[in-house]
Amino acid sequence: MKRLSIVAAVVASLLLLLVLASSAANGHARTLKQVNRPIAAVAMDGARLVYVTDDDAVRVWNVKTGATAQLRAGTGRYMTNPQIPEVAIAGTRVAWITRSENGNSRETWARLYVRSLSGRATQPVASAFRRDGISNDGVEIWEGNWLTGLVGSANVLAVSRWTTTARADLGGMTVSKQRLSVLDSRRPLLRVIAAGARTVASASADRSRVAVLRSDDTVGLYSATGALLKQITPTSAQEIAYGGGRLVVLTHARTLEVYDAQSGALLHTWPIHTKAPNVRPGNLRAYGRIGLYFTDTRYLAQRLHLVDLATGKELVRPPSSHPWGAADAAVGPLGVVSSVNTYRFGSNPKRAGTLVFEPTARVLALIGHG
């Protein structure tokens, strides 16, 4: 019996090698790009990938041609203030939000910028300021304006804005002035396409549609002109991802609900295969059959889970040797781009990153044989 198990394992390994060799022969091999700084954020649209390094540089990598363009120069050193937590790309336009925080009241400035790949100047678009406070019951209260939820695809860049104010009894916050906006394609300004409590916050985009995760856990799919195309009501929603005709919802019950974005029909419900206590928010991605999410086994020790949304099978990528290993990932019609950072200390320190692009066929083959 033991010998049969060994033989079966060897055969399975050989089959996987044959699948990968076949993928490579058909132009489905993975592509690596070495980066001289750790990677903080990535976003993808078609063959173009925009990535931010930890020194606040913004660059675009074309996974087909290998060409790289720098849109914002970095400082050459690790930066915490300001930092760029959000970036998006739509065709030949790239947008990012810088966020700086100061003082005990956490005075926070968020600033939105845009730049065209063919342009020479980065243009400021909008800004928002808020400060933090504590209510009588010890509840956190933010006073001011929010600018977040930056997403992009095709020719659409969208973002959400709203205002929070302390209630008179200091028992909480009142939310107002909610609006979903798109960045004008000709001028550096935001154009409001929908307003009201059910229009925020933008969470994902695909072509000319924007998916909004509302505070009541419903999901609205909006056109670039603000028309509500579809409303989907999952069992609950911690996070959503939208792309390739599929809406994927990470529920509070630790499942992935997969919906047909056109009809709104629930196609599948898959369990999350992890014993980790936390699923890191902000890292759910999906396009077509492929979904991905991160989990934390330790503080920022992120494991990347790749999911075949048609079968529920998963492939888990472990973190690198350093607990700050995996950083971010993106998925699109061509495949998956993930990033892994290297941190080495001691007499020969090193801080660097690697972008890994894997075509869709290769990813699905790996998941199926994982």
Among 176, 200, 233, the domain boundary falls at 233
First to last CA, the chain: 23
For residue 195, give both structure tokens: 């307003």
Residue 68 lies in a domain: no
Do 207 and 294 reside in the same domain of the chain?
Answer: no
Q: How many domains does the chain have?
A: 2
Supply the CATH number for residue 299's domain: 2.40.10.480
- Residue 273 vs residues 62, 97, 312, 327: alpha-carbon distances, Å: 32, 33, 10, 20
Partnered with residue 94 across adjacent β-strands are: 89, 115
How far apart are alpha carbons 10 and 1 in whole angstroms? 14
Do 118 and 192 reside in the same domain of the chain?
Answer: yes
Do 240 and 368 reside in the same domain of the chain?
Answer: yes
Residue range of the domain that includes 238: 24-51+234-370
Cα 4 off chain centre by: 44
Residue 74 lies in a domain: no
Residue 38 lies in a domain: yes
Do 42 and 160 reside in the same domain of the chain?
Answer: no
Among 203, 233, 263, the domain boundary falls at 233
How far apart are alpha carbons 318 and 323 in whole angstroms? 10
Do 208 and 241 reside in the same domain of the chain?
Answer: no
Residue 337 lies in a domain: yes
Do 248 and 367 reside in the same domain of the chain?
Answer: yes
Residue 303: partners with Cβ closer than 8 Å, 6 or more residues away? 274, 276, 294, 295, 296, 297, 316, 317, 318, 319, 326
Residue 15 lies in a domain: no
Do 263 and 229 reside in the same domain of the chain?
Answer: no
Nearest to 205 by CA among 111, 89, 41: 89
Residue 190 lies in a domain: yes
Which residue stretches of the chain have pLDDT < 50? 1-2, 4-27, 299, 321-324
pLDDT at 324: 47
Do 119 and 160 reside in the same domain of the chain?
Answer: yes
Do 129 and 162 reside in the same domain of the chain?
Answer: yes
Do 85 and 204 reside in the same domain of the chain?
Answer: yes
pLDDT at 177: 98
Do 210 and 256 reside in the same domain of the chain?
Answer: no
pLDDT at 140: 83
Residue 146 lies in a domain: yes
Among 209, 233, 257, the domain boundary falls at 233
Do 150 and 163 reside in the same domain of the chain?
Answer: yes
pLDDT at 319: 58
Region of residue 171 (left: phi > 0; alpha: psi -120 to 50; beta: else) = alpha
Residue 32 lies in a domain: yes
